[in-house]
Structure 1
Amino acid sequence: MLAANAREQFDKNATNAIRLAELSWKYSTSGLKSLALLRILNEVYYGRNRTPFCQNFETASGICSVGFINNNQQIITASWDGTIATWDVESGRQLMFFEPDTVGLNYLSVSPDETKAVVTTGLGADARVYDLKTGKRIFILKGHDFNVQLAIFSTDGSKIVTTGEDRTAKVWDVKTGHLINDFKTELPVKKIMFSKDGKYMYAVLEVGGVILKWNLKKGNAEKTIEAHPDLIPNAKFVNDEKQILTSSYDRTCKVIDIETGNELIVLKGHEYPVMDAAMSPDGNYIATAGYDGTFKLWDAKAQKEIYTKNAHTNWTTIIQFTPDGKKIITGSDDNTVKIWDTETGTLLHNLSGHTGSIESISVIDNGNKILTHSFGGSVKLWYINDEVYCKKLKGHTSSIYSAAFSPDGKKL
C-alpha cells in the first residue's frame, strides 16, 4: 500500500513520494521491498521512457531452458552445467537448487501438475525424470539409439514424449517409465505439439515442411500434412486448436486446418525465410518475423499486408502479441527484444542487455511482465508498464544492509 501511495504521489510531490517509498521499504515483508525505493529513485533522477525495469536471473554456466511455474509466481531454469533451480519472480531470489546426476542440460519440461521435470542433455540417448520437491531422480528413459533432443509431457501429464536423432519419437508412461509407443519418421522431429484432450500429437519434421498427426493411444500416424516445400522453423495451434499457424523457409506463412490439411490462409510477401508467426488474440491479425530482420503485420481475413517494419539488424527469431493484442513483441539474433504498437507499428521499447540470440519470450500479467531468454544463457524479466528504470549503484566492498534518502531527496 505504501509503495502504491508513493507511486501516486510522484507527480504531485517527489519528496513525499520518496519518504513513502522509504516507509514501504522499511515495513514491507515481501520481496518487493527492495524495489519500491529504487524505482522512485530512478523516476526522480533518470527520467522515463528509457529501459523498463529489469530483473536478471543468472547461473554460473548459463541457462539453457526456462519456464514459469506456480501460477507464474516462480521461474524454473535448467543450466548447461546440469543444475536445475527455481526462482521467485518478484524478488529474483533462488528458492530451490539441485544438481541432477548428469553433466550438462539442453532442454527441460515440467509436468502439468508441476511435481516432475524431465530433462535432456542433447549429448546422450536418454532422458531423466526428477521429483521437483525432493530433487531426486525418479527414473531414466532409455531406448533411443542416438542423442535425445526433446522430452515433453503430454497435456494430461500421463505421458512423456521423447524425440531423438535416431528419427524416432517414443511415448513413455509417467508413472512407470515404461515405453508405450514408438513412432518412426523419415526425418528428425523439430517440434512436438499436443492436442488439448491429450489424444493426438503433432510432430513438425526438421526439414521437408511436413507435419505428422499421431494417435497416441493407437500408436499410428493418422495424417500427413505437407504444409510447405521447405523447412518449418516454427508452428503453433490457433483458433482453439482447430488450425495450425506455420512459418517457413519458403518465405510464406500459412494457417492450416488440422482435420483436412487444407490451407485456409497463405501469406506471401517476405523476401527471405519467415522464421516465426503469431496470430492476435481476436484472430484478426497475423504478425510474421523475417530472416532479414523485418516483421510484417497482416490482415488475416483479407490476407493482405498492413505494414512492414525494419525491426532488427539481424534476423528476427521470434514474434508474438501481448494478451490484449495491443502490442507486438519481437526478438532477434541481434540480441535485442523490441515492443511495438500493433495499430501504428511505433517502437515503444528497445530491450537490450542479452549477450546472445533471443530464443524465447514469455508474456504474463496481461503483458506487463516479459520473460526473455537468450542463446548466451541469460534470462531477464522486464516490467513493461512500470515506466520505472533501474540503475545499479556500485561502490561498497561488502553487503549493504540499509539505505535512506537525504531530507531533500537528492542523495541516497
Structure 2
Amino acid sequence: MNKIELVLTVFRVLTGSFDKTAKIWSIDNGDECLCTMYGHTGEIVATDISDCKQIVATSSMDKTTRLFSTATGQTLEVLKGHIGEVIVNQFNYDGSNIITGSFDGTIKLWDTRVAKCITTLTGHTAELSTCCYNFEFSTIASGSLDNTAKIWDLRTNSCRTTIIGHTDEVLDVSFDLVGRRLATASSDCNACVWDVNNGDLISAMIGHSKEVSKVFWEPAGKHLLTASQDNSAMLWNTETGECTQKLEKHSDHVFSVNMSYHGDVILTASKDNSCCIWKP
C-alpha cells in the first residue's frame, strides 16, 4: 500500500492511494476491502464520500476529480477544468455540490448533478494547499504556500478575511462545527486557532518538531488533532494550546488524522504505509 488519504464514515473507511486507486474498507474488519475504484492516471491525493448520494470523489495529480458509485465502483463523472494538480475536495451536505482546490491556486465549486463548474475563486499568490467548507456550507477556508489562509463568502463569491501570522506555508485549514474558529497547520511546525470574524489569533499549538500537515477538530470543539512530519499526532486543548495526548507508533510522516463523530475513535495515516486506529 502506498501513501493514502483517508475518510472515516460511520461504518466505512475510504482510502485513496499513490497507486492510483481508491478503496472502501469495513471498519469492523480492517482488512476487508468492500470496493476498489480505478481510472486515475496520477496519484490520488484527496477523497470524500457522500452517503446521501452514495458517491465517492477522488482528486488526483492528473488534474481531475472523479465521481464513483459506492455500490459498483464505476466512474460516474470526471470533473475537468483545473490547470494544476487537484489536491483537495469536499462534498456539501447532500452531495449536490463539491469544492476542489488545486496547485493552480484556485478553488472551484461544482454542481455534481450536471458535472459543471459553478464558480472559481482566485486570490492566493502561490499554490493552494487546502480548502474546506464550514458546517453550514456557506463559507470556504483555504490555505496556501503564500503563508496565508483566506475565508471566502459563497454568497458573494469573494474573500472576506485574509489570515496572516504563520511564517511558512499553510498546509491545512479546518472550521470548528459552529464556524466561529478556524484551525490552521503550517510548515513552521505550529498549529493555530483563529477567530473567523476578525482573523485574530486565539491560541497556538507549539510542540511538534517538524511541519504540521493536518488539523482536525474534535466534534465538541474543545480539542484539536494535529498530524506531523515528526511521525506523531497530538491532541490539544484549543483554549490553552496545551498538548493533552501524543500518539506515537508510526515510523514515518503522519500526514492525515480523522476522528469519529462521537470522539471515541481516532484514525491516523502515515507514509510508513499504515493506518492506526486509536482510542483517545
> What TM-score range do you get, normalising by the shorter chain?
0.7 to 0.9
Q: What is the aligned counterpart of 2:107 among 193, 211, 214?
A: 211
| 8 Å CA contact retained: 2:47, 2:88 | no
Instruction: Determine whether 1:86 maps to 2:4.
Output: no
1:190 maps to 87
The residue matched to 2:262 in structure 1 has which SS? helix
**How far did 1:178 drift?**
6.8
Once the two structures are superposed, residues 111-158 of structure 1 have per-residue CA deviations (whole angstroms, 9 ceiling, x without a partner) of xxxxx6343xxxxxxx1xxxxxxxxxxxxx5xx6x4363676555435
Give ranges in structure 2 of 5+ residues lacking alignment. none
**How far did 1:249 drift?**
1.0
| 8 Å CA contact retained: 1:211, 1:227 | no
**How far did 1:160 drift?**
5.3
Q: What is the aligned counterpart of 2:243 among 336, 347, 350?
A: 347
Once the two structures are superposed, residues 371-392 of structure 1 have per-residue CA deviations (whole angstroms, 9 ceiling, x without a partner) of 21211122222222xxxxxxxx
**How far did 1:250 drift?**
1.0
- Partners of 1:233 and 1:308 in 2: how far apart? 20
**How far did 1:85 drift?**
5.5
- Partners of 1:246 and 1:333 in 2: how far apart? 21
- Partners of 1:258 and 1:283 in 2: how far apart? 14
| 8 Å CA contact retained: 2:203, 2:239 | no
1:272 maps to 168
Instruction: Determine whether 1:379 maps to 2:271.
Output: no
**Larger helix fraction of residues:** 1
2:232 maps to 336
2:42 maps to 147
Q: Return the structure number with greater relative CO, CA threshold 8 A, min gap 6.
A: 1
The structure whose Rg is larger is 1
1:363 maps to 259
The residue matched to 2:101 in structure 1 has which SS? strand
Change (3 A) 1:76 1:257: closer
Change (3 A) 1:282 1:356: same
The alignment's TM-score, normalised by the length of structure 2, stands at 0.82
Change (3 A) 1:239 1:333: same
Percent identical across equivalent pairs? 22
The residue matched to 2:140 in structure 1 has which SS? strand
Change (3 A) 1:171 1:64: closer
Amino acid paired to 1:193: Q
Change (3 A) 1:96 1:380: closer
Amino acid paired to 2:105: G
**How far did 1:185 drift?**
3.0
- Partners of 2:232 and 2:121 in 1: how far apart? 34
Once the two structures are superposed, residues 383-405 of structure 1 have per-residue CA deviations (whole angstroms, 9 ceiling, x without a partner) of 22xxxxxxxxxxxxxxxxxxxxx
Amino acid paired to 1:263: C
Change (3 A) 1:156 1:221: same
What CA RMSD, in Å, does the superposition of the two structures yield over aligned residues? Answer: 3.3
Greater CA drift, 259-268 or 148-157: 148-157
Count matched residues: 276
Give ranges in structure 1 of 5+ residues lacking alignment. 1-60, 89-93, 99-115, 120-126, 128-140, 385-412
| 8 Å CA contact retained: 2:265, 2:278 | yes
The residue matched to 1:307 in structure 2 has which SS? strand
- Partners of 2:98 and 2:63 in 1: how far apart? 16
